[in-house]
Chains A and B, each alone.
Chain A
Amino acid sequence: MTHLIILPVILPALLAPLIGFVMRHDMTLARAASVAGTVLLVVVALILLGAAADGTTHVYRLGDWPAPFGIVLVLDRLSALMVLLTATLALIVLIHAIATGWDARGWHFHALFQFQLMGVCGAFLTGDVFNLFVFFEVLLIASYGLMIHSGGKERMRAGLQYVVMNLAGSTLFLFALGTLYASTGTLNIADLAVRIPEIPADEAALVRVAAILLMVVFAVKAALFPVQFWLPATYANAPAPVAALFAIMTKVGAYAIIRVHTLAFGPGVPGTDGLIGTWLFPAAIVTIAVGAFGVLGARRLMPLIAFSVVGSMGTLLVAVAAFSSEGTSAALYYMVHSTFAGACLFLIADLVVSQRRADTLRTMPPTLQNGLFAALFFAAAIGMAGMPPLSGFLGKLLVMDALRDPGMMAWAWTAILVGSLMTIVGFARAGSTLFWKSTALPAADPAAAGGPTPVPPATSAQIAPAMIALAVLAGLAAFAGPVSGYLEDTSAQLFDRAGYVAAVLGPGEEG
Chain B
Amino acid sequence: MEIVIASTTGILTAGGVYLILRLRTFPVILGLALLSYAVNVFLFASGRLAVDQSPVLSKYGDATYTDPLPQALVLTAIVISFGMTAVLVMVGLSAYFEAESDRIDIEPAPAGEDEPEEDARA
The residues of A with any CB-CB pair to B shorter than 8 Å are 130, 134, 137, 141, 144, 148, 151-154, 156-161, 163-164, 167-168, 170-171, 174-175, 177-179, 181-182, 232-233, 236-237, 297-300, 303-304, 358, 360
- CA–CA, A311 to B60, complex, Å? 61
| B104 near A167: Cβ-Cβ < 8 Å | no
Which residues in B have their C-beta under 8 angstroms from that of A134?
Answer: 76, 80
| A303 near B104: Cβ-Cβ < 8 Å | no
CB distance from A397 to the nearest CB of B (A): 31
| Residue ID in chain B nearest A138 by CB atoms | B80
| A137 near B120: Cβ-Cβ < 8 Å | no
Which residues in A have their C-beta under 8 angstroms from that of B106?
Answer: 154, 157-158, 161, 233
| A171 near B80: Cβ-Cβ < 8 Å | no
B1 interface residue (CB < 8 Å to A)? no
- CA–CA, A153 to B96, complex, Å? 9
Which residues in B have their C-beta under 8 angstroms from that of A154?
Answer: 106, 117-118, 120
Within 8 A of A (CB), among B96-122: 98-99, 104-106, 116-122
CB distance from A69 to the nearest CB of B (A): 9
Task: Give the 5 A-B CB pairs with smallest separation, nearest first.
Answer: A303-B122, A156-B95, A182-B46, A178-B46, A174-B39
Within 8 A of A (CB), among B33-65: 35-36, 38-39, 42-43, 45-48
* A233-B120, A299-B116, A360-B117 known; A130+B73 contact, CB < 8 A: yes
| B122 near A299: Cβ-Cβ < 8 Å | yes
| A168 near B20: Cβ-Cβ < 8 Å | yes
Within 8 A of A (CB), among B1-44: 20, 25, 28, 32, 35-36, 38-39, 42-43
Which residues in B have their C-beta under 8 angstroms from that of A179?
Answer: 46
Q: Which of A161, A171, A181, A304 contacts B47 (CB 8 A)?
A: A181
| Residue ID in chain B nearest A175 by CB atoms | B39
Which residues in B have their C-beta under 8 angstroms from that of A360?
Answer: 116-117
| Residue ID in chain B nearest A186 by CB atoms | B69
- CA–CA, A163 to B25, complex, Å? 11
| Residue ID in chain A nearest B25 by CB atoms | A160
- Given A144-B91, A164-B32, 6 more A-B residue pairs with CB atoms under 8 Å apart are A137-B80, A160-B104, A163-B87, A174-B42, A232-B121, A297-B122
| B98 near A156: Cβ-Cβ < 8 Å | yes
| A164 near B42: Cβ-Cβ < 8 Å | no
| B45 near A156: Cβ-Cβ < 8 Å | no
Tell me which of B25, B83, B92 has the highest count of chain A C-beta atoms within 10 A of its own C-beta: B92
Q: Which of A156, A232, A303 contacts B91 (CB 8 A)?
A: A156
| B121 near A303: Cβ-Cβ < 8 Å | yes
| B32 near A167: Cβ-Cβ < 8 Å | yes
* A158-B120, A360-B117 known; A137+B84 contact, CB < 8 A: yes
- CA–CA, A17 to B75, complex, Å? 24
Which residues in A have their C-beta under 8 angstroms from that of B116?
Answer: 299-300, 360
Which residues in B have their C-beta under 8 angstroms from that of A175?
Answer: 39, 42
- CA–CA, A161 to B98, complex, Å? 14
> Is the contact region of chain B dominated by helix, strand, or loop, or is it mixed?
helix
| A181 near B46: Cβ-Cβ < 8 Å | yes
Q: Compute the total of residue contacts between A and B using a CB distance below 8 Å.
A: 119
| Residue ID in chain B nearest A141 by CB atoms | B87
- CA–CA, A98 to B64, complex, Å? 59
- CA–CA, A360 to B91, complex, Å? 27
Which residues in A have their C-beta under 8 angstroms from that of B99?
Answer: 153, 156-157
* A134-B76, A148-B91, A157-B95 known; A141+B43 contact, CB < 8 A: no
| A170 near B84: Cβ-Cβ < 8 Å | yes
CB distance from A268 to the nearest CB of B (A): 26
Which residues in B have their C-beta under 8 angstroms from that of A161?
Answer: 104-106
Which residues in A have their C-beta under 8 angstroms from that of B121?
Answer: 232-233, 303
Which residues in A have their C-beta under 8 angstroms from that of B35?
Answer: 168, 171
Which residues in B have their C-beta under 8 angstroms from that of A171?
Answer: 32, 35-36, 38-39, 81
| A178 near B87: Cβ-Cβ < 8 Å | no
Which residues in A have their C-beta under 8 angstroms from that of B118?
Answer: 154
- CA–CA, A160 to B48, complex, Å? 37
Which residues in A have their C-beta under 8 angstroms from that of B45?
Answer: 178, 182
| A237 near B119: Cβ-Cβ < 8 Å | no
* A134-B80, A358-B117 known; A298+B122 contact, CB < 8 A: yes
| A236 near B120: Cβ-Cβ < 8 Å | yes
| B32 near A168: Cβ-Cβ < 8 Å | yes
Tell me which of A134, A170, A298 has the highest count of chain B C-beta atoms within 10 A of its own C-beta: A170
* A178-B42, A236-B120 known; A167+B84 contact, CB < 8 A: yes
| Residue ID in chain B nearest A159 by CB atoms | B91
Tell me which of B38, B91, B94 has the highest count of chain A C-beta atoms within 10 A of its own C-beta: B91
- CA–CA, A177 to B47, complex, Å? 11
- CA–CA, A360 to B109, complex, Å? 13
CB distance from B99 to the nearest CB of A (A): 5
| A156 near B94: Cβ-Cβ < 8 Å | yes
| B120 near A237: Cβ-Cβ < 8 Å | yes
Tell me which of B38, B73, B83 has the highest count of chain A C-beta atoms within 10 A of its own C-beta: B73
27 contacts across the A-B interface (CB closer than 8 A): A134-B80, A148-B91, A153-B98, A154-B118, A157-B99, A157-B106, A159-B91, A160-B92, A161-B104, A161-B105, A161-B106, A164-B32, A167-B32, A167-B84, A170-B84, A174-B39, A174-B43, A178-B46, A178-B70, A181-B43, A181-B70, A181-B73, A182-B45, A232-B122, A233-B120, A300-B116, A303-B121
